[in-house]
Every structure is written in structure tokens, then in C-alpha cells.
């Protein structure tokens, strides 16, 4: 798989072709409109449930109705994220453990005091009026354009039924005017496809302002994220220390102890049996070579010397040369990231390459390393059997936890039959020159 082939596949997958992107954006806009229509009814049901809560019965209805409204808001966030404007979820956790009237009261209290609930309600009211109409504009242009293209053939019954009609700025009262309307309709359709991604992006920005966490909620989410990633880092560090201790105890330490015993035996036999001493010294020399190799492997597992000396790109290329697969590395880094980011990126790529070697059935792998928008971006694509996912094992989850300590992300696209593409991104605003 060449770099040009990879880039063409990525371009097609991301909808960079304006025609494909226009149709995708038009379809998403239509989905968002109907999703907003559903959200409006759900919001009304929530208000009705709050009214019934005054007499007690609604306490058991409100949590389910709000859950349905939150589902629609989550779907909207996912669609907005696919447009390129990610929206975080701001919901506070619901109380657990209590049941009955007390549990229902505590749940409703948590829901109603969560500002995200009322932001969802606000979004639901705008999802059909403001943002919904904006999202459906490209599809409206498609339908209007098709109507214009049909006018040369149906203009007479339309004019008779509507007592005259206009198409855009053209009054349709004759066959010639109908043909002009048809020409305008033919132009309106590609214009709608062309503007659809931009309209959808504007819709995404408005949706972000409605559904994104407030500053207070964002700070709470940030604190929760830092606490979780700190725990993961501490656990990972403790596990790494235990691994190093185990490797030293079972490997190099045991060999050094055996070397000392053999040297002691050689010393005692030096005068009596020189041939046995020669044999013991040869065994000791071999043991020292193996102990040195084990220590080098241990150091390489902690922080490879090539990574410290020559940087991430050369370290990955060295890793590629040692792989059993055909690995091609493309990179464009203006400077070296900070050492901690380099280390996290290197070991994440090691794990992904190991997964491709062991589990994917791939023959070729392409690793692309770039620096874009103040982030280190890495993409690993293999031509294997696909089917990889976060639930497939702890390896990918370990990578995700490693990257989360740096606010990094891991996204896996792996349809059955392949190819598998893993995209890693680590924010990296500060760099040091090599």
C-alpha cells in the first residue's frame, strides 16, 4: 500500500470530493431535522411529566422521559461530531442505590438541578425552528430544483391549480418561462450540494453553543477526567515497576548470581583442575553476554536509546525494519515533540504494530506521522482481516489509557474484511528542536 493509495483512500473515506460530501451533508441535515422534530415532542413530554410530578406520579415518569431526550441529544452530538465539531457530554452522574419514592425524588432532583437538562430542552425547541430549518436548506434546494426541472412538463396544470406560480425570480406563465425555470432548477441542485457541507458546519457551530457543557460543567468534566487519568497513570506506573522488578529478578539478577557462583567454583578449582576452570570461565562469559542482552532489552522496553537519540520518526522506522510485515513509514514533523509525548506515541505504535502482526493477518502496514493543528497525529493502516475494536482485548484499551494521560484520543475503523485504520492524536503545543 503506497502513500498515494493511502491518501486517496482517506480522501474518499472523509468525503473530500465535493459531490460525495454534498450528498452526505444533505442526508445528515435531513436526519438532524427529523431528530429535532422528535426532540420537540420529547421535550413536551418532559414538561408534561414535570406537571404530573406535582401530584407525585410524574416522579417515576420524568427520569425515563429525560433519558429519551438525552438519547436524542447524544445522537445530535454524534452527528455534529461527524461534521468535525465535537461536542462533549455535560451530564452529571445520577444518584445510585435508593429506590421507591425516595429514589425517584433524588433522581428527579439531580436531573432538574443539572444545567445540561435545561440546555437539552433549549436545544429541542431550536432543533426544528432555527437549527432544523438551517440543516434542511440543502435538501430543500434539492427538492425545489427537481420541481423546477419538472416545470417545463407540468407548468400548465400547476399554473391552473395555483392561479399562477413563480420559480425563484421567474414568473412561470409560458413554456419559455418554464424552460428558464427548469434551467434554474438544474443549477440549484449542484449549488445545494456545494453549500451543504458549509451549511451543516454552521449548524454544527450553533448546536455546539446549545449542547456543549457550560464553563462550570466543563471544569467538572475536566477534573473528573484528570482524576481518572491520574489513577490510570499511577496504576500503569505501578504495573511497569512490577514488570521491571520481575524481569530483573528472573533474568539478569539470576544470571549474575549464577556467574558469581561459577566464579567462586573456578577459584576453588584453579590449582587442582585448570581444565574445569576453563570450562567454568567459558560458561560465565556466555552467561554475561546473555545477561547484557537481557539488560539491553529491558532498557529498550523502558525507553529505547534510538528514541532518545534520534527521535520518534527514526525510532518508528527502526521498529518497522525489525517487523515481519512490510511496513512503510511516512512522516512530516517540523520538530521533535517533548520526550513524554514521544514515548507515549512510540509505545502506542509498538502495540498497534504488534496487534497487526499477531491478530490481523495483514501483510502490509502504513504508518503516517504528522503534526497538525498543535497535535501529533498518527495513522496506522493495515490490509488485514479487520474486526478490531476496543472490546477485542486489553491492548487497545491500554493504548487509550496511555494517550488519555495526555488528553490524547484513539479511534479505530475496522470493518469485517479490512482494512483496519487506527488514528491517534496527542495534543502537543510545545516542541523542542532536535
Number of H-type helices and E-type strands within the chain: 14, 9
3-state DSSP call for residue 318? helix
Q: Let me know: does 401 contact 422? Beta carbons within 8 Å.
A: no
Q: What is the pLDDT of residues 198-245, one digit of tens each?
A: 888 888 888 888 887 766 655 666 666 556 656 555 555 556 566 666
Q: Report the C-alpha gap between 113 and 95 in whole angstroms.
A: 12
CA proximity to 17, closest of 28, 29, 8: 8
The reply to whether omega before 419 is within 30° of 0 (cis) is yes
Q: Report the C-alpha gap between 284 and 133 in whole angstroms.
A: 81
Residue ranges of domains in the chain: 17-213, 216-302, 308-432
**Burial classification of residue 316, based on how many CB atoms lie within 10 Å of its CB (0-12 exposed, 13-18 middle, 19 or more buried):** buried
Q: Look up the pTM and report it.
A: 0.52
3-state DSSP call for residue 165? strand
Round to the nearest angstrom and report the end-to-end CA distance of the chain: 30
Q: What is the pLDDT of residues 151-161, one digit of tens each?
A: 888 888 877 77
Q: Report the C-alpha gap between 304 and 297 in whole angstroms.
A: 9
Any alpha helices (H) in 16-84, and if so which ranges? 18-53, 62-82
Residues of the chain with pLDDT under 70: 1-19, 57, 97-100, 214-253, 255, 291, 293-304, 390-395, 429-434
Q: Let me know: does 420 contact 413? Beta carbons within 8 Å.
A: yes
Q: Report the C-alpha gap between 288 and 281 in whole angstroms.
A: 10
Question: 432: which strand partners?
Answer: 336
Backbone φ and ψ of 337, nearest 5°: -65, 170
Give the pairing type, strands 364-372 and 326-332. parallel
CA proximity to 62, closest of 123, 115, 128, 117: 117
Give the CA radius of gyration of the chain: 32
Kindly state the DSSP code that residue 367 receives in the 8-state scheme: E
Q: Report the C-alpha gap between 207 and 424 in whole angstroms.
A: 26
Q: Report the C-alpha gap between 91 and 105 in whole angstroms.
A: 18
**Predicted pLDDT of residue 6:** 42
Q: Which helix (H) or strand (E) segment is 330 a member of?
A: strand 326-332
Q: Report the C-alpha gap between 49 and 180 in whole angstroms.
A: 54
Q: Report the C-alpha gap between 46 and 28 in whole angstroms.
A: 26
Ramachandran sector of residue 380 (left: φ over 0; alpha: ψ -120 to 50; beta: rest): beta
Q: Let me know: does 12 contact 104? Beta carbons within 8 Å.
A: no
3-state DSSP call for residue 369? strand
Q: Let me know: does 360 contact 422? Beta carbons within 8 Å.
A: no
3-state DSSP call for residue 366? strand
CA proximity to 411, closest of 429, 392, 396: 396
Q: Report the C-alpha gap between 85 and 207 in whole angstroms.
A: 9
User: In the CATH hierarchy, which top-level class contains the domain 308-432?
Assistant: alpha beta
Q: What's the longest Cα–Cα distance across the chain?
A: 125
**Predicted pLDDT of residue 102:** 74
3-state DSSP call for residue 417? coil
**Predicted pLDDT of residue 14:** 46
Amino acid at each position: 500500500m503506497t502513500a498515494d493509495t493511502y491518501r486517496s483512500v482517506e480522501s474518499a473515506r472523509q468525503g473530500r470530493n465535493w459531490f460525495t460530501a454534498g450528498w452526505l451533508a444533505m442526508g445528515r441535515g435531513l436526519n438532524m431535522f427529523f431528530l429535532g422534530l422528535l426532540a420537540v415532542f420529547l421535550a413536551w413530554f418532559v414538561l408534561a411529566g414535570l406537571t404530573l410530578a406535582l401530584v407525585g406520579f410524574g416522579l417515576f415518569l420524568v427520569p425515563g422521559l429525560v433519558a429519551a431526550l438525552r438519547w436524542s441529544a447524544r445522537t445530535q452530538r454524534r452527528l455534529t461530531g461527524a461534521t468535525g465539531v465535537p461536542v462533549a457530554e455535560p451530564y452529571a452522574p445520577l444518584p445510585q442505590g435508593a429506590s421507591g419514592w425516595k429514589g425517584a425524588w433524588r433522581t428527579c432532583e439531580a436531573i432538574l438541578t443539572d444545567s445540561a437538562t435545561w440546555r437539552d430542552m433549549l436545544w429541542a425547541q431550536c432543533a426544528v425552528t432555527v437549527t432544523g430549518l438551517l440543516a434542511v436548506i440543502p435538501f430543500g434546494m434539492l427538492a425545489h430544483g427537481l420541481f423546477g426541472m419538472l416545470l417545463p412538463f407540468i407548468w400548465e396544470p400547476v399554473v391552473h391549480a395555483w392561479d399562477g406560480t413563480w420559480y425563484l425570480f421567474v414568473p412561470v406563465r409560458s413554456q419559455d418561462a418554464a424552460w428558464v425555470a427548469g434551467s434554474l432548477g438544474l443549477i440549484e441542485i449542484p449549488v445545494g450540494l456545494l453549500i451543504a457541507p458549509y451549511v451543516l458546519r454552521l449548524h454544527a457551530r450553533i448546536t455546539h453553543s446549545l449542547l456543549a457543557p457550560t464553563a462550570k460543567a466543563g471544569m467538572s468534566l475536566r477534573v473528573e477526567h484528570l482524576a481518572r487519568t491520574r489513577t490510570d497513570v499511577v496504576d500503569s506506573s505501578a504495573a511497569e515497576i512490577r514488570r521491571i522488578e520481575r524481569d530483573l529478578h528472573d533474568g539478569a539478577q539470576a544470571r549474575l548470581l549464577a556467574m558469581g557462583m561459577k566464579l567462586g567454583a573456578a577459584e576453588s578449582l584453579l590449582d587442582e583442575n585448570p581444565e574445569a576452570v576453563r570450562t567454568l570461565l567459558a560458561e560465565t562469559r556466555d552467561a554475561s553476554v546473555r545477561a547484557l542482552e537481557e539488560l539491553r532489552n529491558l532498557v529498550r522496553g523502558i525507553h529505547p536509546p534510538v528514541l532518545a537519540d534520534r527521535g520518534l520518526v527514526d525510532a518508528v522506522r527502526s521498529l518497522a525494519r525489525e517487523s515481519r510485515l512490510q511496513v512503510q513509514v511516512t512522516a512530516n514533523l517540523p520538530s521533535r515533540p517533548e520526550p513524554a509525548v514521544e514515548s507515549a506515541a512510540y509505545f502506542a505504535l509498538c502495540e498497534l504494530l504488534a496487534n497487526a502482526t499477531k491478530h490481523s493477518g495483514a501483510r502490509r502496514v502504513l504508518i503516517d506521522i504528522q503534526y497538525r493543528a498543535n497535535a501529533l497525529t498518527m495513522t496506522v493502516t493495515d490490509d488485514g482481516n479487520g474486526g478490531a475494536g476496543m472490546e477485542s482485548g486489553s491492548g487497545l484499551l491500554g493504548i487509550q489509557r496511555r494517550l488519555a494521560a495526555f488528553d490524547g484520543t484513539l479511534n479505530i475503523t475496522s470493518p469485517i474484511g479490512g482494512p483496519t485504520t487506527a488514528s491517534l492524536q496527542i495534543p502537543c503545543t510545545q516542541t523542542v528542536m532536535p
